[in-house]
Each structure stands twice: as structure tokens, then as C-alpha cells.
Amino acid sequence: MGELARRAQAGLVTVVGLVAVMWAVFVLNALLGNLLVMTLGIAPRRVDGLDGVVFAPLLHGGIAHLASNTLPLLVLGFLAFLEGARRFALAVGISWVASGIGTWLFGGGLTIGASGVVFGLFTYLVARGFYNRDWKQILLAVLLFSVYGSILWGILPTVGSNISWQAHLFGALGGVLAAFLLKRKRPAPGGTDRFGLGS
């Protein structure tokens, strides 16, 4: 099996596993009478709500909310994983933390959901090709933008909505930051970048 095929297989297992955890947490939360959402969501500017930075992306308020994040996470997560497990983990981690901290600092109320991570993966995949000057990644970015680009409206404040534009905005900024931090060094001997992660 070739390297790309191995990464594809591992990526599929990883993103399906992540989504499965979210669905399992959703069921558990329902059985507990919404206890997990109330205690582990991001409560902005409250010390006891800071743990939500870690847990909030695993929590969702309803089937529609979780379902709306499931397909984008599967698609974008799988595509990000094709570049390697460590790059995937860093892209997800940076988006996850940036979205959570930004929401904790500037959010308006209890916040849950993986949409900040979705926005982060999207902007990571769109931005990395331009940082890397890789025409294949740029072509993928154009394709992704044509399919998912409209989600970027979600980074703008919406009057009367309970959707956290802060989570979206800071997740998206986290994805751009991840693309910058993980950009490939100009051709170097050995085929590894400055992080030693490979191409």
C-alpha cells in the first residue's frame, strides 16, 4: 500500500472516530438531561467556564446542530489528514484552541459545538496552498471555496441569532495561523520542513 493510501485509510479512521465520539457524547448528554452542555460549555469570561475551551467542540445542542457539523468535519478533516497525522493534529488543535479562547474572551453566552473547528480546517486548507505556493493545494482551495465558501458569512455578527460568530471567526483565524506555522520551507535537503514533519 502506498503512502497516500495509508494516510487516506488512517485519515478516514481518525475523522470517523472523532465524529463518532461527538455522537456518543451527544447521546450521553441527552441521557444526563443536558448536564454536559450546562457544565462543560464555554461560559465567556468566567473561570469555571474556561474548561469549555477543551470540551465545547464535542458538545452539541441538538441533532440538527451535530448533523450540520458532521459532514464538513468528515470531508475537511479527511483532506487535512492526507498531508500527515501530525499536521492534521496541529491544524485541528490550533483551530480548536483559538476558537475556544476567542469565544471565552469575546463570546456572548454559553457556547458549544464543533463549528469553530470546521471553520479552522476550512481556512487551513484554503490558506496553506498560497503559503506553500503549491498549485495542487491552490486548486483544492478553489474547489473547497466553491463548495463551502459561503460558510464564511458565519464569521459576521448576526442580530438575534444564538449562533456564535466569535467561535467561527476565531476558529477561522486559527486555521490561517496553522497554515502559516506549518508552511513548507523552500526546498530543503531530506524532504522535511522546518518542523521535521515532511511534506
Q: What is the pLDDT of residues 129-186, one digit of tens each?
A: 999 999 999 999 999 999 998 998 999 887 667 889 999 999 999 999 999 999 987 6
**Which of the two residues, 157 and 33, has the higher pLDDT score?**
33
Domain ranges of the chain: 3-181
The per-residue pLDDT for 26 is 98
User: Backbone dihedral region of 125: left (phi > 0), alpha (psi from -120 to 50 degrees) or beta?
Assistant: alpha
* 88-113 tens-digit pLDDT: 999 999 999 999 999 999 999 999 99
Q: Which CATH superfamily is domain 3-181 in?
A: Rhomboid-like (1.20.1540.10)
Grid cell at residue 194:
522546518
Q: Quick one: pLDDT band at residue 199, thresholds 50, 70, 90?
A: very low
Beta-bridge partner residues of 111: 42
For residue 170, how far is the Cα from the chain centroid?
A: 11
Cell of 150: 459561503
CA angle in degrees (0–180, nearest 5) for 192-198-199: 105
Using alpha carbons, select from 171, 29, 32 the residue that is nearest to residue 114: 171
Q: Which pLDDT score, from 0 to 100, does residue 190 have?
A: 52
For residue 1, is pLDDT > 60? yes
CA 195 → CA 11, 19, 182, 191, 198, distances in Å? Answer: 21, 28, 8, 11, 8
Q: Which residues are CB-neighbours of 194 under 8 A, at least 6 positions away?
A: 185, 188
CA distance linking residue 155 with residue 16, whole number of Å: 26
Q: Give me the pLDDT at residue 7, please.
A: 94
Q: For the whole model, what pTM was predicted?
A: 0.90
Tell me if residue 42 falls in helix, strand or coil.
strand
**Alpha-helical segments (H) within 56-84:** 63-81
Q: What's residue 21's pLDDT?
A: 98
Length of the chain: 199
Residue-averaged pLDDT of the chain: 92
